[in-house]
Chain A
Amino acid sequence: DTGVSQNPRHKITKRGQNVTFRCDPISEHNRLYWYRQTLGQGPEFLTYFQNEAQLEKSRLLSDRFSAERPKGSFSTLEIQRTEQGDSAMYLCASSRTEDTQYFGPGTRLTVL
């Protein structure tokens, strides 16, 4: 399967700890997106990369959040000093230019 993959699928952490998620997009896709989804809500845009450049960043992305895509391939999303309100599903998607975004399975974060 050459779809978008995300790791880990589930993460449970204590408040105040740092966590890092990884996303591997479809190989020929140069665009990569991060979203956050809470129960019963639609995904909320967090940030967007074109190749290795982070082109857009939502106001939802506080200074505790940082995303990277160092070589224009995989991406990481780090949350520092996690809070209970960070508990959510973190979705990654990739696309080729303006084409359909293909989503990964998501990483479910639970902050205790």
Chain B
Amino acid sequence: KNQVEQSPQSLIILEGKNCTLQCNYTVSPFSNLRWYKQDTGRGPVSLTIMTFSENTKSNGRYTATLDADTKQSSLHITASQLSDSASYICVVPPSGGYQKVTFGTGTKLQVIP
């Protein structure tokens, strides 16, 4: 069964600190991996898309890494801000079509002052 697992389920950090979120997947065949940020009560917003050949991709204070061999990805947030408080969802759509698109349950991040 294709699965995406994210850890931790929730995280609280102080403003200004860094944090790393994890995503492990067993989806096969692999097309790409996407990280989304979802504020409470809103639709997800794309942060980054990583293809099989990419190891690292940055988007401002967000840096995603991908290890296709171990099927792991991480999202590193640098110098966190209060506005980073949200759920971060890892998505792994297989090349076989959206019928099987798998969203992780997300990591709920809370940044406190």
Contact = CB atoms under 8 A, between A and B. Distances in A.
B98 A100 contact: no
Interface residues of B, number: 20
Contacts of A93: 43
B104 to A, nearest CB: 6
A48 B104 CA distance: 19
B45 A103 contact: yes
A28 B12 CA distance: 39
B-side binding surface: helix, strand, loop or mixed?
A: mixed
Contacts of B46: 100-102
A85 interface: no
Given A103-B45, A106-B42, A48 B105 contact: no
Interface of A: 4, 33, 40-45, 48, 56-58, 91-93, 100-106, 108
Interface of B: 4, 34, 36, 41-46, 49, 89, 91, 97-99, 101, 103-106
Given A48-B98, A102-B46, A103-B43, 15 more contacts: A33-B98, A42-B4, A42-B89, A42-B91, A42-B105, A43-B89, A44-B103, A45-B98, A45-B101, A56-B97, A56-B98, A58-B99, A93-B43, A105-B42, A106-B43
